[in-house]
Amino acid sequence: MIRALILTAGVALLATAGSAQLQPLDEGTVMDAVERLKPGQFIWVPEIAPEGPMLVVVNIATQRLVAYRNGVPIAVSTVSTGRAGHRTPQGVFTILQKNVKHRSSTYNNAPMPYMQRLTWRGIALHGGNLPGYPASHGCVRLPHEFAKLLFDQTSLGMTVVIVNQPGQLRVGPNAQTAFEPPSGSFAPTTWRPELSPYGPVSIVVSAADRRMVVLRNGIEIGSAPVQFDGVVDRTQAYVLQSVSGGDYRWKRVTLSGERATASAMAAPDGGAFQGTDLFRQALAGVVRPGTTMIVIPDSLGLTARATVRPQQITVIEAEPAAYLDTGVTSGR
């Protein structure tokens, strides 16, 4: 689950809502420690990666959140996601708004401390009650102390990925079939960095669409076709280690709930792109070590090639809908 987690002096800070205590890891692996977490408990070790871009991954199936910095997991927490009838949406999001003291506009003015908005329709990360099962109205509830710690480390525009593994969404080609290049031509390569000149860069790759989308500060600035060296049967995350001469060196990040035996595709390198050399050069100009890439098996609805209607996947809701009051969050 968190195999790459290396803890200073062999200890992790295991905390509950009202207290904090050092939890030794000499009786099992880090994975064991994570699986033993009880509702409201979390591991917090930001000192193992003090700098670099952050990525947060929420797993509905395991009711866990993992925070990565520069590709290294620095925190793991129990969560409570949406209950039946109020499912937490899966997809790739950015943090749109942050508020230390926030209250729900829909559910009896309920407190939502350390709110971090993911959609303008009311989905957010925030502190709340964790009964040990999905119980929210769609938001991701966090232990109160962890919510504060995470709030202090994140920034607007940062990527948050919500998955459900096992039981990953299956759309497009069969998950057990290697994705072959389409017989027709790819959609055109696009590159418009001026749409978002500054901010953190994230890359989202759709296996069903065989397409890469480059986002900066939550806004798409480019896209290009991409091929895969293997099967993509689940959401995967990578962190860029280096770029040299157009070659990209990626390190795979183990997601919460993922087994060591899970299949993995080889991360695309410069030679895997079907776009032009100009696109590879342009991409090298905006990414840097620590840039994250998320690979999903699902279609993002980006091309007309999809023959299977995908289940709804959110990919970066960067602009508020005109009819919504951007000052409140309705979720809980």
Is pLDDT above 60 for 258? no
CA distance 136 to 43: 22
> How many other CB atoms sit within 10 Å of the CB of residue 233?
18
pTM (global) more than 0.75: no
Give per-residue pLDDT as tens, 6-50: 232 233 444 443 444 333 333 444 556 677 889 999 988 787 667
The three-state secondary structure class of 281 is: helix
Is pLDDT above 90 for 249? no
For the beta sheet containing 124-127, the strands, ordered from the edge strand earlier in sequence to the opposite edge, are 97-99, 115-117, 124-127, 140-142
The three-state secondary structure class of 47 is: helix
Inter-residue contact 299 to 206 (CB < 8 Å): yes
226 pairs with which residues across the strands? 273
- Listing DSSP states for 75-116 in one string gives EEEE-B-B-TTSPPPPEEEE--EEESS-BBTTTTT-B-TTEE
Name the residue among 62, 96, 93 with its Cα closest to residue 79.
Answer: 62
Higher-confidence position of 276 and 144? 144
What are the distances in angstroms from CA 163 to CA 27, 34, 52, 87, 298? Answer: 30, 18, 23, 12, 12
Question: How is residue 210 annotated by DSSP?
Answer: T
Give per-residue pLDDT as tens, 191-229: 999 998 988 788 888 888 888 888 887 678 888 888 776
Confidence at 77, pLDDT banded by 50, 70, 90:
very high
> Structural domains in the chain?
8-163 (2.40.440.10), 190-308 (2.40.440)
Give per-residue pLDDT as tens, 168-191: 322 222 223 233 334 333 578 889
Q: Which residues contact residue 27 at a Cβ distance below 8 angstroms, ignoring those fewer than 6 apart?
A: none
The three-state secondary structure class of 271 is: helix
Phi, psi of 8, deg, nearest 5: -60, 130
The three-state secondary structure class of 254 is: coil
Surface-to-core class of residue 266, CB atoms within 10 Å of its CB (0-12 exposed, 13-18 middle, 19+ buried): exposed
User: Which tokens is 146 given?
Assistant: 């962890």
